[in-house]
Amino acid sequence: MKGTLRRAGAERRRKEASSRRGWVPQGPVLTAVLVVGAILLSAVAGAGLASLLSSGASPGDGSAEIGLAAPAEDSAEAGFARDMMVHHAQAVQMAEIVRDKTEREEIRTMSADIALTQQAQIGQMQGWLAVWGLPATGREPAMTWMGHPTEGRMPGMASPEELNDLQQASPEEADTLFLQLMISHHEAALPMAEAVLEETDRPEVERLAGAIAASQRGEIEMMKGLLNQRGVPVEEDSAAPDDHSRGADGHSHGGE
């Protein structure tokens, strides 16, 4: 009996000593503590991000450090973002058509890369406009920021008839038409990227415009090579920016 009492007393003293060293939650209590902590951390992070966005800077874009104000409604940056989003959207559309239609692995790989890359860039430019407090569409015609307002399709964009031809073509015909249309599309995007690079001092815009120009120049050469392999003549892009627009018949090329 005395031995039992001694063991009980020792156990009670051990628990009291443990409680003095610090309480460690276990089981469901520990889970609840972690969940509450995560919620609080997310709230703090969200508040910080909201504060950052309201200041007119993008996370990691470098504009906050150099004290840049958000671009104006009629700025080159806003015009570039809006116009390139529209241009990119059609490139994504064409790339997805041929990606699902082609029987050639190199065309499937290229079209998938174009679709993924340009869709991601659209999201980036949408984010800029949101951070800058600007609407996704402007009041002026496309390309006004470049000095030559364009009604209707922008340079290099395929006509509805050309998109329908691409959709209805056989896999082999679609490959060739896709390469021709996308070369023109890319070629007309280059002046847009170069124009904003001459006007902007925002690091995020410089990075994206530079990336667009570099990647699309490389893709143009690759697509011309694929046409040459098929024995299809390749027209050199010699049009000035104002001459890029397609007519209603869709036969004049030059694009993103």
Say if residue 250's pLDDT is above 50.
no
- Nearest Cα to 216, choosing from 249, 175, 254? 254
Mean pLDDT of 208-224: 97
pLDDT per position as a tens digit, 53-96: 434 444 445 555 467 899 999 999 999 999 999 999 999 999 99
Which of the four pLDDT bands, split at 50, 70 and 90, describes residue 236? confident
- Nearest Cα to 146, choosing from 216, 209, 93? 209
* Range of weakest confidence among 18-27, 135-144, 208-217, 231-240: 18-27
Say if residue 40's pLDDT is above 80.
no
| pTM for this model (two decimals) | 0.71
pLDDT per position as a tens digit, 3-35: 554 555 556 665 555 444 444 444 443 333 333
The alpha carbon torsion through 183, 232, 244, 134 (nearest 10 deg) reads -20
Domain ranges of the chain: 76-136+162-234
Q: Is residue 162 within 8 Å of residue 185, measured between CB atoms?
A: no
pLDDT per position as a tens digit, 182-197: 999 999 999 999 999 9
pLDDT mean across residues, the chain: 79
* Range of weakest confidence among 1-5, 118-122, 157-161: 1-5
Hey, what are 21's tokens? Answer: 């060293």
What fold does the segment set 76-136+162-234 form as a domain? Answer: Ferritin (1.20.1260)
Query: What whole-number distance in Å separates Cα of residue 92 and Cα of residue 100?
Result: 12
Predicted pLDDT of residue 30: 38
Say if residue 105's pLDDT is above 50.
yes
Say if residue 132's pLDDT is above 70.
yes
Predicted pLDDT of residue 8: 54
